[in-house]
Each structure stands twice: as C-alpha cells, then as structure tokens.
Structure 1
Amino acid sequence: MKRIKYTFLLCFIFISGALFSQVDSVRFVNDNVIVGEVKGMNQGVLTIETDYSDDDFTIEWEGIKSISTKTSFLITISDGRRYNGNIHSMEDGKIKIITLEGRSTIVSPDEIVFMESVDKDFWSKMNASIDFGWDLTKANNLRQSSLRSNIGYKAERWSISTYYNAFSSNQDSVSKVSRDDAGIGFRYYFQRKWFGGLSTSFFSNTEQKLLLRSNGKLGAGTYIIQTNAVYWNIAAGASFNSERYEQSADDRESIEGFVDTELNLFDTGDLSLRTKITLYPGITESGRWRSDFNFDVKYDLPKDFYIKMGITFNYDNMPVQGASESDYVFATGFGWEL
C-alpha cells in the first residue's frame, strides 16, 4: 500500500512539475496545439520550448491560429510602441496584450513584430555568427581567405553589437592585398520607432593605402518599415574621422556628416537578404564625400549553419596620391550562428 502511495505521489509531483513549466499554449492553423514555454518571436519566427523535446520548436508566426501566454515579454508593435506583459488571442483573431501594470491593448497579430522573454538569462539575449571563406588556385600560387563575425546583446531598451571582418590575398610576384574592418555600436530605443546610436569603427585597406581609419559616429534614426517580413530604417548624424596612410604626409582628421539606411528581408523561407549604404559628406573638408555599401545573401542550413555571399564596396572621391577611389570585395563563406 505504501509503495502504491509513494508511486502515486511521485507521479503527481512529476505531472504537476510538467504542467507548471508548460505555461504557454500555441494553436496552429491546422488546429494542432503545442504547450510549453514561449521563448520569443523575431523576424516572423516564434520559438517555444517543451519538456519532451531536446531542441526548441520554431514556428512561422503566420502559421499560428491562437496563442496564450503566462510568460511575460518585451513586445514591439509595428508602429514602434513597446509593452511589457503577456498576450492572449481573442475570438475575433485579434491579440490582447496585458501589461505588467494590468492595462490592456488590442492589436492584430501582424502588428506584433518582436517578442523577447523578460525572464531571459544573459546567454539567451546574445546573438553571434562567424563564417569563413578560402580559395586556392595553382596559377601564381593564389591564396585568398575571408572572415566575417559579429556578436550582439539586446536588452529591454538598448542593444550593443560588435563585428570583425578580414580579407587577405597572396600570390607570387604580386604585393599582398588585405583589408580589415571592425567596430562596436550602442543603440538605445525610444518610444515609437525612434532610436539613438553611438558607434566606433576601424578600417584598413592596402588598395587605398590606408593604414587605419578610426571613425566615431553619433546620431539618431527611425524605422520606416518594421514588420514580420522586413525592416527598413534610416539614421543621420555627425562623425569624427581620423586617417593614417602609408605616407604620413597624407594623414587627415576631419568632421563629417553621415546618412545611412538599412534594409533587411527575412520572410523568404531559408533565404534572407540585407543591404546597407552609408554616405559621409565632408564638413571640414568641403567637397569630399565617402560611401560604404554592403549587400549580403544568406541561406540557412540545418543545425544553425548557413552559407553566405556578400559584396562590400567603399568609395572616396578625394583619395590620397596614388590610391584608388574605390575598392570592393566579393566573398562567399560557410558559417554558424548562435
């Protein structure tokens, strides 16, 4: 009798623990239901963790018929509003957001563009990726390598990110070609779609005889489009530019303005596209302007691996003597992301 009682008690504790941990429920458009803990939603993909699976489930947001959570989230709406609270689907297909203060707001499902669990630990708020490329050709013993990497952290109202990219090319009877760029940026998110930013970047390029360009930027921007399929933002401000060249007589320091815009398309299955262009009109160097252009295409593979192709283009209408006005790199790589 005691054995039966203890067995029943253990089963009760196990089931109760499972039910307690599975606080959120999601119903698909085919009426299947999954119960667990919703971790968040980003770029049109919702992630939910269950007790009976080693890996988290990922579900297209548009494939969800209804959702109800006890987990609290930082929720971003397409018009830039931000809420802290949980969400519940209504009979008419709308979603009710109940804030931690008890206030409620009703929105359409496609208006919710981002959700992040308020209870996430440090590592859950991190994102990172790294990819490599390598080319070897017998002719002239050509060897090329490329590396691109980034690490980011996103909190409730701010985010910080850093990156490092490198390209190197060696071949017989030709001078080595290399270019490296790195940077770190901080962004604070205001209400609606506005944000402020502060960043520092470092760049070197043998094609433009540039040993090191240090650039600090301060500005503000806004999201023109922010949905579950695409985001597009624009920012502007001022920057301080310090340049060191192979010939010290060519060294420069100047103040510039900047305008940049970024477009990211990610609701295309396993394919995503990102492009960014930045223009730097000279302020203390009248008539000078520079531009940086990036375009990347990424295809997701299983287990968080991916392949990527991208082009980077730099232009300066007033290069130093003997240097090229422009330079570009086309790179392919295989990588992994967190």
Structure 2
Amino acid sequence: MISRSLLLFFVFLLFSVTGTHAQSDSLLVKNNQYLIGEIKSMERGVLVIETPYSKSDFRVKWGEILAIYSERLFITSSKSSNRIYGKISSPETGFLKIISIAKDEYIFPVADILYIKSVNRGFLDRLSASVDFGFTLTRARNQRQFSARSHLGYIAQKWSFDAAFNKLVTAQDEIEDINRGDGNLTAIYFPRRNWFALNRLEYLYNTEQALDLRFNTLFGAGRDFFKSNTLYWRVFGGLAFNNENFSGESMDRRSAEAWVASELNIFDMGDVSLLSNIFVYPSLTEKDRVRIDYRLDLKYDMPLDFYIKTGMTLNYDNQPFQSSRSVDYIWQTTLGWSW
C-alpha cells in the first residue's frame, strides 16, 4: 500500500500543477512588483485579475501596469486597431505584443490598449450584468413609487449584445397609477477600426403620454471619434421603423424615420462615471414630426460591486397624441449591484 506521506505528496503535487496552470498570467506594476493570477478583463482603464490569495478579484488601474505575461487567448483592442483575437505578452516594459490566431504580430504601447477580455473562460464569463432598485414612500395621499433598472451584456470577437430594461410605477390614493417602462436590445458588429454597424430594438410605454406601446426597429452604422482609457465619444445614425399604439385609438400608427445619435461615456473620475446619449428621430412619412430621446446617468461605485446611480430620461414628441404632453421625463436614484 502507498504510505500516507507519499499519498500526501502526490496530492500536493497535483494541486501545485493544477494551480500553476490555472494561474498562468502575471502583471508587472510600477512599484516593480508582480501580481500572479488569471486576467479576466480590462476596460474603462481598470484591469480585473483573479488571484489565489484573495476571495475577491483585484482591480488595478491600467496606468499602473508596465508589462503583462500570459499564454491564454484574449480579445484586445487599441486606439489604432480593431479587435484582435490572440495571445498577449510584453516583449519589453511599456509595450504589449499580440499574436493573433492567424499568427500576425502587433506591438502597441501599453498606454494605447483600450480593452482586453479573456476568451478562454466560459460563456458566463463573457457576460456582464447589473440591476438597480429604488423605492419612495410619501405620507401625503399614501404615495408609493417603485423603480427598477437592469442591464445585460455579452461580448464576442467582433460582436457585442446589450439589453436594458427600465420601469417606474407611481401609485397614490384617489389618482390613477402612473406606469412607465422602456427597454432596448442592441447588437453591434465591428467590421473595422472605429467603425461599427448596429441593429437596435426598443420599446416604450407611458401613461403620461397616453402611449400604450411604441416599438421601434433601428438599423444603422456609426463611428467612434474618440476612444481612450478615460472616455469615448461616438456618433451613429440610420433608418428606423416605428409602430405606436395610443390609449383610446383603435388603429396603430406606423411610420418611417431617419435617426441620428451621439453618446459620451466618461469613466475615469475616481469612483464616479457619466453616460449621456441623445437620439433624434425626424419622421420621413409624417410631415414635420420630430421625436427626441435623451438619457443622462451618473454612477458612484461602492465596495463589493455595489453602486448608487442617479439619472434622467427625457422623451419629446412635437406631435403628441391628442392632448397628451409633448415632453415627459423621469429622474431616478437607485441602489444597484453589478457582475
């Protein structure tokens, strides 16, 4: 029989080999120390690495990293390139080399890298998600307000998918409840550097505007005019097909629209980030009609992936249904958690 000490030796050896294989990535940071673990991602100027000596992942500012060493596959993008699928390493301090699966080699300054995502990990590791909730109770007329927001994203080599949901319910005595909800599903394809094509499905219902449902299908393309580890700014546009159903109206309204949009995302203000976008829809089939959707979100990150978010959503229609309001907006403050 195998002695107990010999058995323990083999168990120790097995775990040592397994651990060495799983923790194949290393980082060299500015204080000339190394971090050993498994790189998950880098975006918005922060790299996330899972280490064997901590229950929670380490987050390292990208500006503090001098070199990376890994044998695994990543999706990587830089200021001067589209997404590249391959292995990454540092041939010297301050630079990152990418060897694509087609064996092409690219070398970039570390400061020019904007995005890294591990693709050796499973399907769930390519997902990102967040959920927010808010509740307000007022004694006057027993007013209750509940709000919920959520987001789900998935990233692939040349594709990304995002879904968002937003709901607000206000109830008070002797007054009809106010219900408002919106959401979208967006698929983006990145064929070349800074350019992208997209398809977006979005909906809105709002008792304040007598809108039972607006369902809009958008097709278009856009360009990132500025990308860095602190912010990005993009402009995009195309054509849309709009279907609307209003309260008390038996016939649906259908129209074709052009659309143009702009989005600004600032994410290097300490624990604070800002996202703002505006969509303008001039109608092609309804004379002089213009709609505008605007969103502004401020987010404050807290420990353990919790955050506080406050923001405004505004909808404008210069030809509203009957006597409903042309402008409607909501301001929400919620507590959320991201994954």
Shorter-normalised TM range: over 0.9
- Separation in structure 2 between the aligned mates of residue 155 and residue 22 of structure 1, nearest angstrom: 23
Report the AA paired with residue 37 of structure 2: G
Aligned to 1:118: 119
Cα displacement (A) at 1:9 = 4.3
Evaluate the alpha carbon distance shift between residue 251 and residue 14 of structure 1 in structure 2; reply closer, same or farther with a 3 A threshold: closer
Cα displacement (A) at 1:166 = 0.9
- Separation in structure 2 between the aligned mates of residue 250 and residue 330 of structure 1, nearest angstrom: 32
Report the AA paired with residue 173 of structure 1: E
Cα displacement (A) at 1:80 = 4.0
Cα displacement (A) at 1:69 = 1.4
Alpha carbons 1:44, 1:61 under 8 Å: kept: yes
Evaluate the alpha carbon distance shift between residue 92 and residue 324 of structure 1 in structure 2; reply closer, same or farther with a 3 A threshold: same
Alpha carbons 1:230, 1:265 under 8 Å: kept: yes
Q: How does 1:1-338 map to 2 (within 5 A)?
A: 6-91=7-92, 93-248=94-249, 251-338=252-339
Aligned Cα root-mean-square deviation (Å): 1.8
> What do the CA deviations read for 1:139-178 (whole angstroms, capped 9, x no partner)?
1221111111121211221122222211111223333222
Evaluate the alpha carbon distance shift between residue 222 and residue 80 of structure 1 in structure 2; reply closer, same or farther with a 3 A threshold: farther
Structure 2 portions without partners, runs of 5+: none
Report the AA paired with residue 289 of structure 1: V
Alpha carbons 1:281, 1:290 under 8 Å: kept: yes
* TM-score, length basis structure 1: 0.94
* TM-score, length basis structure 2: 0.94
> What do the CA deviations read for 1:219-266 (whole angstroms, capped 9, x no partner)?
111111121111111111100111111121674211000111111111
Report the AA paired with residue 271 of structure 1: V
- Separation in structure 2 between the aligned mates of residue 13 and residue 164 of structure 1, nearest angstrom: 46
Alpha carbons 2:168, 2:179 under 8 Å: kept: yes
- Separation in structure 1 between the aligned mates of residue 145 and residue 181 of structure 2, nearest angstrom: 14
- Separation in structure 1 between the aligned mates of residue 51 and residue 79 of structure 2, nearest angstrom: 29
What secondary structure sits across from 1:71 in the alignment? strand
- Separation in structure 2 between the aligned mates of residue 145 and residue 154 of structure 1, nearest angstrom: 31
Evaluate the alpha carbon distance shift between residue 285 and residue 14 of structure 1 in structure 2; reply closer, same or farther with a 3 A threshold: same
> What do the CA deviations read for 1:59-102 (whole angstroms, capped 9, x no partner)?
11111122111111111112342212222224352222222333
Structure 1 portions without partners, runs of 5+: none
Cα displacement (A) at 1:302 = 1.3
- Separation in structure 2 between the aligned mates of residue 227 and residue 254 of structure 1, nearest angstrom: 38
Evaluate the alpha carbon distance shift between residue 288 and residue 19 of structure 1 in structure 2; reply closer, same or farther with a 3 A threshold: same
Cα displacement (A) at 1:291 = 0.2
Alpha carbons 1:250, 1:320 under 8 Å: kept: no
| Identity fraction in percent | 38
Alpha carbons 2:83, 2:158 under 8 Å: kept: no
Evaluate the alpha carbon distance shift between residue 277 and residue 80 of structure 1 in structure 2; reply closer, same or farther with a 3 A threshold: farther
Cα displacement (A) at 1:6 = 4.9
- Separation in structure 2 between the aligned mates of residue 295 and residue 225 of structure 1, nearest angstrom: 19
Report the AA paired with residue 126 of structure 1: L
Evaluate the alpha carbon distance shift between residue 8 and residue 137 of structure 1 in structure 2; reply closer, same or farther with a 3 A threshold: closer
- Separation in structure 2 between the aligned mates of residue 12 and residue 165 of structure 1, nearest angstrom: 51
Alpha carbons 1:80, 1:194 under 8 Å: kept: no
